[in-house]
């Protein structure tokens, strides 16, 4: 059955690769971009299966209008992909207030708002797929990208909670967590905080990105095809890591976290109140929560 997709950030990078892959699969796309003229070639090729939608995802009133326009045009939204976003590098204390706000507004708040705008339609039709493009940086921290990763950790956590809320409604939610892919994330889409000399590790990372020598492992066209296939899977994962680099990094971090947990386990357990501990673990809510 032909599906209708709503994809943010469709004009470049992974969003464009995904838009093309969806159209090639025969589905329809409401493709959002701040400058929809960048979608003219796709509109000419795919005709009325593509609906270009002008959208700055930080204009939250416009978000709801864009979703409503899509439903009015195509009749439904089967798949939402929150893809719009950009990177930023620098020391945590160095970012300007505007840089911090713009990161959170674009990479986190907009994801939440677009999702909230689409959910009523999916709830009424009792079906839907939501793919949140997070990052391996939403599962582990890396020096130099603290604010970007704060947003992506938020996306991954929001996804995990939301997936539990809406599963009974026939809606499946996945946090797609790529490593480095050959998009312009570290190029034109990357911004930088002012430099503070003492942060040598952070500054070396910024210099690496600015130098243009960063070559990512991941292929965005392959990632796009995985995402298309994912929407047909009967039991999709809540977290999907993409790329061998990301798998290696996550494995290393899991090992470090497991070691730290065991090392500090006596301290963790020492903070329980002796009263009612058994009642807590025996309650039906706690059992369902801990065993979910």
Per-residue pLDDT at 194:
87
Domains of the chain: residue spans and CATH? 4-242 (3.40.50.720), 250-292 (no CATH)
Task: Give pLDDT < 50 ranges for the chain.
Answer: none
Look-up of token digits 């409503």: 68
Q: In what order do the strands lie in the sheet with 239-242?
A: 50-54, 28-33, 4-7, 79-82, 128-133, 171-178, 239-242
Q: How far apart are CA 160 and CA 152, in angstroms?
A: 12
Q: Are 78 and 124 in contact (CB under 8 A)?
A: no
The pTM is what? 0.89
Q: How far apart are CA 140 and CA 120, in angstroms?
A: 32
Per-residue pLDDT at 273:
79
Q: Which of 178, 127, 129 is nearest to 152 (CA)?
A: 178
Active site residues: 134, 148, 152
For residue 189, give the DSSP letter. Answer: T
Look-up of token digits 């689409």: 118
Query: On the CB side of 156, how many CA atoms lie within 13 Å of its CA?
Result: 19
Torsion of CA 179, 134, 239, 166, to 10 degrees: -170
Query: On the CB side of 224, how many CA atoms lie within 13 Å of its CA?
Result: 22
198 is written with which tokens? 């003492």
Give bridge partners of residue 173 from the DSSP assignment.
Answer: 130
**DSSP result, 2-67:** --EEEESS-SSHHHHHHHHHHHHTT-EEEEEESSGGGGHHHHHHHGGGEEEEE--TT-HHHHHHHH
Instruction: Return the ∠ at Cα 35 (arms to 101 and 39), rounded to 5°.
Output: 130
pLDDT tens-digit series, residues 74-116:
999 999 999 998 889 999 999 999 999 999 999 999 999 999 9
9 is written with which tokens? 């950030």
Per-residue pLDDT at 183:
56
Q: How far apart are CA 140 and CA 4, in angstroms?
A: 33
- b/e string for 147-174 if b means 16 or more Cβ within 10 A? bbbbbbbbbbebbeebbeebeeeebbbb
Secondary structure, 3-state, 203-244: HHHHHHHHCCCCCCCECHHHHHHHHHHHCCCCCCCCEEEECH
Per-residue pLDDT at 234:
95
């Amino acid at each position: 059955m032909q599906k209708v997709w709503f994809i943010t950030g469709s004009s470049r990078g992974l969003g464009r690769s995904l838009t093309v892959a969806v159209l090639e699969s025969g589905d329809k796309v409401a493709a959002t971009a701040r400058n929809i003229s960048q979608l003219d070639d796709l509109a000419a090729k795919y005709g009325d299966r593509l609906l270009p939608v002008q959208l700055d995802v930080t204009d939250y009133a416009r978000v709801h209008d864009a979703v409503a326009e899509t439903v009015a045009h195509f009749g439904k939204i089967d798949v939402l992909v929150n893809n719009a976003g950009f990177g930023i590098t620098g020391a945590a204390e160095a970012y300007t207030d505007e840089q911090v706000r713009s990161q959170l507004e674009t990479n986190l708040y907009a994801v939440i708002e677009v999702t909230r705008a689409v959910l009523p339609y999916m709830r009424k039709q009792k079906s839907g797929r939501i793919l949140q493009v997070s990052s391996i940086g939403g599962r582990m921290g890396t020096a130099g990208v603290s604010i970007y990763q704060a947003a992506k950790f938020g996306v991954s956590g929001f996804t995990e909670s939301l997936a539990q809320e809406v599963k009974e409604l026939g809606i499946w939610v996945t946090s797609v967590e790529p490593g480095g892919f050959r998009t312009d994330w570290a190029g034109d889409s990357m911004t930088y905080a002012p430099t503070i000399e003492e942060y040598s590790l952070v500054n070396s990372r910024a210099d690496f990105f600015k130098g243009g020598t960063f070559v990512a492992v991941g292929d965005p066209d392959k990632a796009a095809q995985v995402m298309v296939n994912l929407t047909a899977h009967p039991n999709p994962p809540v977290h999907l890591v993409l790329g061998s680099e990301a798998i290696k990094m996550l494995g290393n971090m899991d090992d470090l976290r497991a070691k730290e947990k065991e090392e500090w386990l006596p301290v963790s357990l020492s903070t329980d109140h002796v009263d009612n501990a058994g009642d807590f673990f025996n309650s039906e809510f706690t059992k369902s929560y801990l065993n979910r």
